[in-house]
Amino acid sequence: MDLRRFLKSSQGWPYLLVPFIPIAIVLELAHAGAVVTFFASALGVIPTAALMGRATEELAARSGPGIGGLLNVTFGNAPELIIALFALGAGLHEVVKASIIGSILGNTLLVLGAAMFVGGWTRDRQTFDRTAAQAQSSMLLLAAAALVMPAVYELIDGSGLPSPGSERVHYDSTVEALSAAVAGVLIVSYVAGLWFSLRTHRDLFNPPREDEEQHEPWSVRKSVIALAIAGVAVGVMSEILVDSISDAAEQLGLSEFFIGVIVVAIVGNAAEHWVAVLVALKNKMDLAVNIAIGSSAQIALFVAPVLVLMSFVLGPHPMALVFNGFELAGILLAITIANHVTGEGESTWYEGLQLLAVYVVLGIAFYVA
């Protein structure tokens, strides 16, 4: 496959954004405006995330189902994690928490909604494995129960929830210890989920994936080199992105909360989002649902608790899992809706439209917050 044909393919379009990587670096070194630097680095994240995903898939294909599945779940949300770690180091705790919630909302409402809408537009209905979808949705629901408890504690015995305009709030040691304990429980649940999905019920969670464009498989060396390059590039773009968030938000008249929950959450996983919509168009709803709900579960059960634990050694002070009111409402609504939608094992374009409508309503509320 020649380069031009690849770039025009469904897998190649993210690499059209590669020029934004050097553009973002030049803008940062030249101390250009924060807004143009922010958007250049945000666009630069997309091809690096796509390369990381492709390299991970190639390694997974050569490693067998067990190790391959572990690689996919480990690196699947690496771009979001890397961006969040840089924000954590900069003390942007509320941006980090907003990006966590934004990733969950983006997957369960925007991606799943777009997949159902696009895939179901020319079909009466689409079907998917209800058992696998419900298992992942249940994991999300249990994670939500754990994620909201520090906020409940702070509402009853503390100083209240943070405002959407806050940059970071330093809570007392009790809330920090509670957040760390919740993070530990979530990670244990995540490890148990890995055993469930990769060992005891492997066939249920690994639907066959047939690519439209056939390509020669990468060697292990090529995959590792690509993964390393992508990791470095994501790190560079993330640092530039985080450095420009505060000034860009002020100049655009947007809150850091809105940028974190919408913009940062979308760009970190844009390539995978596109894949979910594409496979739904091909009537592979098992894979589309697996990508959307599975990615949300990874964020809630792995990325969020890892960030809480890392905050004890990174940044000005530990990050408590105390979300603001908009974030709590968003995550509870999204996960409840996801559980309802996946419970039937079938979808229509109208259900997809409703999910997208809920995402737009939440986005409007976050904008005016």
255-302 per-position pLDDT tens digit: 889 998 998 888 877 777 777 888 888 888 888 888 888 888 888 999
pTM for the model = 0.85
In DSSP notation, 49-77 reads HHHHHHHHHHHHHTSHHHHHHHHHHHHTT
Strand partners, 347: 126
- Say how far apart CA 170 and CA 6 lie, in whole Å: 49
- Say how far apart CA 151 and CA 146 lie, in whole Å: 10
3-class DSSP state of 346: strand
The angle formed by the CA atoms of residues 55, 57 and 61, to the nearest 5 degrees, is 120
CB 143 within 8 A of CB 301: yes
- Say how far apart CA 138 and CA 260 lie, in whole Å: 26
What's the average pLDDT block by block, 10 residues per block, for the chain (369 residues)? 61 81 92 90 87 78 60 71 88 90 91 92 87 82 88 86 81 90 92 78 59 64 85 88 88 88 83 79 84 86 92 89 92 87 87 93 91
Tens-digit pLDDT profile for residues 14-67: 788 889 999 999 999 988 888 999 999 989 988 888 888 778 777 767 765 555
What's the per-residue H, E or C state across 252-286? HCCCHHHHHHHHHHHHCCHHHHHHHHHHHHCCCHH
